[in-house]
Structure 1
Amino acid sequence: MLHRLQPLIQPQLQRLTRPHALAWLGLALLTAVAVGGAGHWAERRELQTKTAELHQAAEVYSLALRGVAERYDYLPYAAARHPEVLALLAQPDLPERRQQVNRYFEDLRGRTDSAALYVMDLNGQAVAASNWATPSSFVGQSYRQRPYFEQASQGVRNTFYGVGLTTGAPGLFIAEPVRQQGVVKGVVAVKVGLDELSQAWAKVAAPVLLQDSRGIVFLSSEPDWLYRSSRPLSPEDLAWLARHEQYGPPQTQTYPALPWRLERAADQAEYRLHTRQGGSQGGRQRELLALDTPLPELGWTLTVSTDLAEVALARRQALALAALGAAVLLLAALGWQQRERRFAEQRQARQELELRVQERTRDLQLAHAFRKAMEDSLLVGMRARNREGRIIYVNPALCEMVGYRADELLGCLPPYPYWHPDELDRHQRDSEAALQGRAAPQGFESRIRHRDGHDVITMVYTAPLIDEQGQHLGWMSSVVDITAQRQAEQRQREQALQLQRSARLASLGEMASTLAHELNQPLMALSNFALAAQALARQGPPELLQSALGDIVAQARRAGEIVQRVRGLIRPQGGQHQACDLAQVVERVQGLLQAELAAAPLRLDRAALTALPPVRGDRLLLEQLLINLLQNALQATEHLPAARRAIELSAQVQGELMELCVADHGPGISAGLREQVFNPFFSTKADGLGLGLNICRTLVEAHGGQLGVRERSDGQPGAVFFFTLPLMHPPRVPSLEHAST
């Protein structure tokens, strides 16, 4: 393959060794850059001019549209307040009043050059109109389904563009409610034709169009775009259009999509519009620069455009002029160089001949060295095969990758000596696919066997091998060694497994800390009750000793239940949820903390915990949760005066949940620490373990609720810890206890 490329590479190497050739190459590149820059500059300049003209045209067209609407804006307002109109709506059956209003509207239409002016009663029937004497008179016609009548009859002045129900001619309708003593008695409407505007638009070179709020084109300089939609219409939109017949009977309008293809830039209001103008079959393809201008007071969108053909023409002209100038300069420079070279050749003809021989020899040596260095420097293995699969070229990188010399590989047909013996079928399929031109362009992974026996993982990419005459000689493959990458991926997977084991050990340590924290309360109680039992054994009534021993047994059972519940927190089926009365749970907790509450002393207000529905939860875990929260509140208020040592318990139902609040009057918790206090081993107390609130959150989340802290709502200092629990409903599925059995 390389000896075929040598005739193409050698002349380039010869030129690159000549300083003058390098100078000419640099000059040619600079000339090409200058010519391209001139074309780009001309294109951008023309595009900026077109953009400025587009914005100016949008302003002019917008002013014209607003001028048409404002020109007739006063007409319905004035007519709605005319005494004769008010009198007609009060007595619509009097012919003389109807005739007076007909003639008044006829005279008003002639003076203002509007299309039509008419008044409707509250049933939508026209009782007088400016065209009363014409065959297409509005008098007696019903316009109840028209949107402008519906809104105006409700007291809202509005505008509406549509095709007339009576005349079939489109126009802009401006409707005004007729009020008498603040009550709507009828509707006055003026119809304004946009024929002059449409005729003016028909003469412009680039398309101009108007769309309504649904994207339907109702006025356009391009007739083929009328009543087409720029976006798909929903069934609700189509039903609304059919019901109100805005653009004619529903059987005559289908609102097909506009023949557009848009290219928008995120930071530009203008966009490129590709369309076929003059009909979808026989028209010509055009590329336009378009701009949308909203007209919110009318509910329309104005689209103006300009042809980009002039931009392309400006670029071509600039390129032609720049190329012509560059050609003149290059020809002049070339003539000057040829003249100087001819003089030099005449003086040094003999020396030039010797230099040419030396340069020829040096160029051949350089080409050979270049080819050899290129082959030796490649880290990617290269392999060329003819169309039959015979190896015709390998580079040193491939030989090093497979362990075979080039002379051992050249001329080999499949199966090749480096194919892995365990994957011969796969190698054969991949080879046949590559020789038939079906190799995956993204490459495929292949495991081969090195000559010394170790495996090599590679990625193989194959492309056609074409000679200088365009003939298909075979296939060239690049082979990349990815063994190290695969080994790194394996190490990464092993490290991930190690991290998972470390995480499990950390979870085990946290569970041990949780058990130590939670068992502290019943163990302290066991110790106190045991000391009391010893004292009662020496002296005291037997019934008190029996009570103390009973408390010891109860606390021992409580410690065992805590261990079981903590185990349940890490097992999905470990919960023992049942219906719990929060008032009874609080009463039980108050009894367990009676000594601490009396020693404080501290008042526990639980008057708000009455007539509450039961919640679903584990009674023992809920008791432990409240004990932790109340002990935190006790510690937060221990330095307060006796009058302020109080804890309020309250609850309220929120949908399917109940929220219970524990409020104290302590120093409170700053906003920056309200989330950190729930982290394991974080504590604001010098001797605290930082596990209490973390355990509380775990207990609440095990019940399907949430735990948080906030400020008091009454503005006093203190903190409010709140948590939610699900309400207990009649069971619709088997309980967890039944399911576990």
Structure 2
Amino acid sequence: MDLRAAPDDSTEAGAPRPSHGLPRLRRGAGFIAALLCVAVLLVVAAGEWAAQSERDAQWDNLRRSGEVQALALRGVATRYNYLPFTTAQHPLVSQLLRHPASQEVRDAANAYLQAVNEHAGSDMLYVMDLEGLTLASSNWDTPSSFVHQNYRNRPYFHDALDGDTGRFYGVGKTTGEPGLFVSAPVRDNGRVIGVVAVKVRMEPIANPWEQLRDPVFVTDARGIVFLGSEPGWLYRTSRPVPAADVQQLQHNEQYGTGWTPRPVPWTLRQQDDQRDDQPGAELRLDGNGKRYLAFEEALPDLGWTLTVTADSRVVAVARQQAWALATLASGLLVLGALYWQLRERRLAENRQARIGLEQRVQERTHALQQAQAFRQSMEDSLLVGMRARDLEGRIVYVNAAMCDMVGYRADELIGQLPPYPYWHPDDLDRHWNDSDTVLAGNAFPQGRENRLRHRDGSDVYTMFYTTRLIDGGGQHIGWMSSVVNITAQKRAEEQQQQRETQLQRVQRVITVGEMASTLAHELNQPLAALVNYAAAARALAAQGKTGPLNDSLEALSAQALRAADIVGRIRRWVRQHPESREPCDLSAIVEQSLELLLRAEARRQGIAVRVEPAGAPLQVHADRVLLEQVVINLGLNALQAMQTHQPPPEGHELRLRLAADNGHALVQVLDRGPGLPPGIAERLFEPFFTTRSDGLGLGLNICRSIIESMGGQLQAHNREGGGAVFEIRLPLTNAPDNP
């Protein structure tokens, strides 16, 4: 390409003109390259943001689903706990165990157990002697009767013989059908003479799970799946089972006579990008590689673990959709730079295409929300108190828990239209508004807190969860509400908050007393300097030396400001204030605590202070003033511990160490005092426990409460070489996701 032009009158013949095309091309190529880099970064960032948002939404849904399913599972598992105990109190059961050979007594006992079982709605109810032999059963007249069957190898039988209540889930030896067995001892003058057991079928819980799209299952304490929506996973192990436990299970015949351990066809592991506020894992099926988000809800009172899952493909779909949108936007940016002359026409076309794509995304999102709302409605109805209303608001059903909650019988509530008798007279406007909103089709999917009035006049605080009531033909016929009594929780929260506020105020007042001597020591220096500078200024004024006089006055003013700053810092620290969380630099908080009190107190006692900073800034989300109070309290305790203790070879020293550890920020307060004796170390954080004659025993307890309210931990242990270490551990706000 010839970059020269023909000479004119003002240019010598044959002399080339300067070329500007090549630098312009280079600038254009650099601009396009920068645009491409920005576009790639935008696409990647948009995909990760969309995936994380969808993952957070899935975890929230799983957490709510796990709580509802766990509540329903616990309700079915504990529904018949009373039945064996009450049956064991009947005189006919004791008479049967004392006279097992009497056919008349056997017939009477069989008839009694059959009647009780039918009335209670349980599966089987039976009585065993001390050898585990069934003497009478509610199914005595069926081909699969438990009578004359021996269950002495079952753990629930031995638990009852020991005088305890037994609970055992397993496959029935006689019927081959699984169920939950609950047992109780039969006593005669304090001596156990037999066992009463009830069998409860868990199908009312497990059968609806089979209709769900994603797997739901329950494992026992050994990790064996015994209940769930996938029949092929039943009685298979999710982790290795010790040989002794395998022998025990085979002896008990818990999962059938021919049971042998077989692993489940999936693996469960923590995700690489899992966060602390998402306590779940990833479940990956063997063979097809399908993945699920898995949330585990522990049921410690039953010894079980409930696991609910959600297909993780929605996260990948969200990421791909975000990539598509971001790629489209980035393409528009690059094309606009390349074809600037066609900017208006191209932007209009692409804007229309983007609107159509967003509409399709919104339609699909709306369809997913509708399906999720239907499933959530079923889950929300499985709570303690149940109330059904027709489309006009008339009550058509209430269960016993709802009647107990408000003090009215079912026949007094059924047929009632608003206002209901249990509405609180002080909240009638709120009740009417909530009722009208629900009947208009605007139920509260997250629940609604309401205050009710019990028949005896007491207040009852509840949470209402309302969903549509659908008949077998799919028609909307009314509204179903689940009601949870939260009265005790509300009162406990209010009392705990008041108690913590009072304790914190008491500790701050105590700390102010301890500050008095140090404050006086700090103010002595500026006050003494003020007196000296004032005397010097008086002498210089008398001599007429204006230059030195001005210097003395400036020094006098500086010392006055220093004294005012000391008093102001103490007043700001002592003043009671509401808790305020904000991002804080932990190093600045430690330095402020040293300047406020600790360094002056250590100087007064002749103890060296050493700070070991971290390699990088430590950002935490905390209440700055309360955190300063904790550091000061721990530092004062360390200085007091070293006052009367003989110094070690390396001498007394107060050391404050800052570090980062596995996503947490650490502040360690180390001293060379006498250390923590074993008897004291175990009770160190108990309220009102103190080793000081003038102490109240509230300081360390309040310090731990403050740190735990910020999501952290406060621990103490002995220091190697003598002394003690108090460690504050708080989550880092700038920490990467834990692997």
TM bucket normalised to smaller? 0.3 to 0.5
TM-score with structure 2 setting the length: 0.43
TM-score with structure 1 setting the length: 0.42
Structure label with greater radius of gyration: 1
Using CA pairs below 8 Å that are at least 6 residues apart, which structure has the higher relative contact order? 2
